[in-house]
Chains A and B, each alone.
Chain A
Amino acid sequence: MIYINLLIAYLKIGLFGFGGGYAMLSLIQHEVVDVIHYGETQPWLTLQEFTDIVAISQMSPGPIGINSATYIGYKVTGTVLGSIIATIAVCLPSFILVLIVGKILLKKRDNIYIKSIFSAIRPVVVGLIASAALLLMNKENFPDYTISIVICLVAFLLVRYAKLHPILIVILAGVAGYLLY
């Protein structure tokens, strides 16, 4: 059953995951942290485990959507098959859509319906990313209200204004955690 749940969850994520990796995080989070799937007793991951996976994705090659599918697929089933199912499922809907709709879209790029749909989706995507961030601001990730908030603030300033690479931020934060805790 868990394999079918995993397949359905990642097909949904793949089909509705508009707006790139960070927006997709919101969908992934909903499926793996918030929802208790059919026939199961608890969500697949705690919020802390989810945050760790995002961190690991940042430090590994490849898109965050693939990374999280592979990791979560293994984590919830304990098998490589789980990884394979989740990874294929997250790619399958867009693989089919791109092959079928891609050509049509290339010819009708100026279609007013398509333009209207995307101008409606864009503000929602901003909200999705904001919700991914809001959901992670909790006691599990900020157990104290001092050091962790300072780390978050400094990391934000470094990525937004100094334009440091995310991998560098994760490494620096890891060193800071080791030294300060």
Chain B
Amino acid sequence: MSKSISKTIFELFLTFFKIGAFTFGGGWVMIAMMEKDIVDKHKWFTKEEFIDNLAIAQSMPGILAVNMAVLVGNKIAKKWGAFYSALGTILPSFIVILTIAIFFVTINDNPVVERVFKGIRPAVVALIIAPVFTTAKSAKINIKNFWVPLSTALLITFCGFSPIAFIALAIVYGIARCYFSNRETKTE
């Protein structure tokens, strides 16, 4: 590994470590930070490249911020760039959460903590209800396709179906729909 490449990789690691460490509130907040650092500061991507790659990162399974880090790292310094960018993104939250996990087990029985968490739990439910509405809007849910999210939610919640089954079904349906509509237009 030449000196300049290892320097670049270190810079990638540091950039993503910083983003991982200072962004609270999940994926989209991290993406906003990434845009600032990757496009404006380091100029690793142009604005257009950033948006194109974001679309790819979003369409892949897994964690959005990690996917984005892999794409940036891979473009700048190939496989090892991808590896260290991903590691940088993951490491801060890994360290913080592990520390909490080790200590939370011991403070869990504290009556003050229990009261605080009794208040937090219903609020967490609210935090998950909110994105149902925002994603419903962006997924263009209407009267015609309303049954899809409804039956998915009901079958998972009340019949214990695996969420993976519904994702797999959607992928198969997406491919089949395209295949058959293609064939129709060809035979016409």
Contact = CB atoms under 8 A, between A and B. Distances in A.
6 contacts: A16-B164, A55-B117, A123-B141, A126-B148, A127-B152, A165-B25
Nearest to B164: A16
Interface in B93-131: 93-94, 96-98, 100-102, 104-105, 112, 115-131
Contacts of B151: 127
Interface string A13-50: 01111111111111100100010000000000000100
Contact of A177 (B67, B120, B156, B169): B120
A98 B56 contact: yes
Interface of B: 20-27, 30, 52-53, 55-57, 59-67, 70-71, 74, 79, 82, 86, 89-90, 92-94, 96-98, 100-102, 104-105, 112, 115-133, 135-136, 138-141, 145, 148-154, 156-157, 160, 162-164, 166-171, 173-175, 177-179, 182
Contacts of A165: 24-25
B119 A178 contact: yes
A151 B122 contact: yes
Contacts of B116: 174-175, 177-178
Contacts of B89: 62-63
A136 B23 CA distance: 26
Contact of A63 (B26, B177, B179): B26
Contacts of A143: 118
Task: Using C-beta atoms within 8 Å of the partner chain, give the interface range for chain A.
Answer: 35 or more
Interface string A50-68: 0110111111111111110
Given A127-B148, A127-B166, A156-B126, A95 B70 contact: yes
Contacts of B152: 123-124, 126-128, 130-131
Contacts of A14: 61-63
A61 B96 contact: yes
Nearest to A64: B26
B123 A169 contact: yes
A106 interface: yes
A62 B92 contact: yes
Contacts of A153: 126
A58 B104 contact: no
B177 to A, nearest CB: 6
A4 interface: no
A70 B98 contact: yes
A123 B148 contact: yes
